[in-house]
Amino acid sequence: MKLIAGVDIGNSTTEVCIGSVGEDGSFRFLSSASRITTGTKGTLPNVHGIKAALEEAMSAIGMPLEKLDLVRLNEAAPVIGDTAMETITETIITESSMIGHNPSTPAGAGEAVGRLLFIENMDRGMQNTPYILVASSQFSYEEVAAKLNQYEERLDIRGLILQADEAVLVENRLNKKIPIVDEVRHIDKVPEEKLAAIEVALPGTSIRMLSNPYGIATLLGLDADETRAVTPIAKSLIGKRSAVVIRTPNGNIKENILPAGEIVFHGQQELSINIDRGADEIMDRLAEAGEIRDIDGQPNTNVGNMLTRIRTSMADVAESENHDVRITDILAVDTLAPVEISGALAGETCMEKAVGIAAMVKTAHLPMQKIAERLEQDLHIRAVVAGVEAVMASLGAMTTPGTKLPLAILDMGGGSTDAAVLEPDGRVRTTHQAGAGELVTMLIQTELGLKSRTTAEQIKKYPMGKVESLFHLRLENGAMQFFEESIDPRYYGHVVLLAPDEMLRIEEDIPMERILEVRRDAKRKVFVRNAIRALRQVAPEHDLRSIPNVVLVGGSAEDFEIPEMLMQALSEYRIVCGRGNIRGTEGPRNAVATGLLLSYIGSTQEG
């Protein structure tokens, strides 16, 4: 009896399937396992994850790793995702020329314009001059309130800027109510004697003057050129409840403009397109170029630098020269990205149009052979690179109950979307395209401005709810879920992710409706678009209506909403679509690893 292992190295997970082949040619599936992929897909660090998955699968049948006779690996093309921004003007502020701020706990309401004056210098203030006072955290809220009350008759105090998060505490102790903005971390950068405007909106509303460049111009007396320069600040303050903008006429404003740049497709036709044109036109131009040999970008531009970065990082992990690395496919997706405003007092950002790109990267020598050689050295077991990913996934998908030829599969993983059509006469058409789960995670993290990629990954995977009392939460679909025992008070008022057996609190203060919109939009942009693109590529005469049924496999097919999105999108082409159930036990996972074993049986029988 021989023990054979099929190993599928994915961008996110490495899956293994173990089978036995008897002397009479009989075959049995014995076990399977899955581990997180170590390193970039298709590179030598993958070996650690492969060995861990093999050990787990072999231990499940009570046998040591040394009993394996053969390891069969899939061919793996690495996929690297990154973002390319549309043209962005970065305003570099050398003397705090314009500063925007958007704290979440202001006090009071209204607008105020005046000269900045530090609270310790109030005795220098002049009558008949409007002032906005500035107080660092070394002054307690009692001291700040006492000072303002003491000077309210002598000075014209219009507003207050605080470093500490104490606006409400100060306001409660003032005789004369004024708008107060707090949480200005870098208060030492505030230039005294300069003209400033602050605005605080009523609860439930947002500011109107300081989120409008012409409003800032009205309050601070700006000319047309200065108004243009404050546009990024006005954009960053849209939807905020409070803000402060400071003018220093002698400030030196420098603009560093890095153009978005053009993508150049080297295919059957050599075509180019500026990334400013957006994802739809980029993908249309890619299709016009025909079969792609390579893709690069205009030098010294956003997209040129990004594609160079991808090429260089792949050359490093593959130990190749840059010219040996080719980008053979991309998926472009429109998105928004937060861009930090240089010189801001509290790290303010404004949302700029961006294009997210997943790139399919190939080297002159696919590094899978090196992985096979390293496995043979480490395990003393024969290892071979055995099959194209999409073909192997198709063979594995055929073990799903209720399927028959002709059969189309969509293998949706972390980095790529593979499609294949198997005809009854044995012919196979395949395609391997960039863009899948990792690009969705990147879009969610970018558009929501999340600090943690882990949070973005969790948002992609789990449904949400908002804890509205200690005994119930409102689910994302509007339904209420009640609990017999009290919910942990730490979750009260927060959006939570409903992971199996636990709630995961989202730390950022983002409305549930916004998270839901971004999550669904990202999945549609990536998975629905890529699925139709891939299936059209492999369909007879590129006609989707010629495909009768599609089996969804891969890690992303386990998602709680992606299969339903695809079923809806493909129903207009009268395609039956659903999750696979590999070998009737594995769900949509393990298709490639299973196919690697089935292809071994077929090759030995043919031999």
Q: Whose CA is closest to 211, among 129, 102, 56, 345?
A: 102
- Relative orientation angle of helices 437-448 and 512-523, to the nearest 10 degrees: 150
| Burial class of residue 192 (count of CB atoms within 10 Å of its CB; 0-12, 13-18, 19+) | exposed
Can you name the residues that pair with 381 across neighbouring β-strands? none
pLDDT, position 258: 66
Q: What is the model's pLDDT at position 84?
A: 57
At 132, give phi and psi (nearest 5°).
-115, 120
pTM: 0.77
Terminal Cα distance for the chain, rounded: 18
3-state class (DSSP) for residue 505: strand
- pLDDT reported for residue 166: 87
Distance (Å, whole) CA 202 – CA 280: 41
CA distance 47 to 7: 11
pLDDT along the chain (607 residues), means of 10: 91 91 87 91 88 95 92 76 50 43 73 92 90 91 92 91 88 91 77 87 87 91 83 78 76 58 93 89 93 89 84 68 77 82 58 81 72 92 86 89 88 87 85 89 91 94 94 94 92 93 90 95 94 91 88 91 94 90 92 91 55
**Cβ atoms 491, 503 nearer than 8 A:** yes
Phi-psi region of 542 (alpha: psi -120 to 50; beta: other; left: phi over 0): left
Q: For position 88, what pLDDT does the model report? A: 42
Tokens 């979440």 sit on residue: 104
Domains of the chain, start order? 1-77+366-399+586-607 (3.30.420.40), 81-87+259-363 (3.90.470.30), 90-254 (3.50.30.70), 402-580 (3.30.420.40)
Half-sphere exposure of 449 (CA within 13 A, CB side): 15
CB 116 within 8 A of CB 191: yes
Residue given tokens 């173990």 in the structure block: 18
Q: Token digits for 414?
A: 């972390």
The length of the chain in residues reads 607
Q: What is the pLDDT of residue 344?
A: 55
CA 24 → CA 1, 587, 594, 603, distances in Å? 9, 30, 21, 15
- CB 417 within 8 Å of CB 329: no
Counting beta carbons within 10 angstroms of the beta carbon of residue 603, is it exposed (0 to 12), middle (13 to 18) or buried (19 or more)? Answer: exposed
111 and 198 Cβ atoms separated by less than 8 Å? yes
Alpha helices in 408-452 (DSSP H): 437-448
- Residue 237 is predicted with a pLDDT of 79
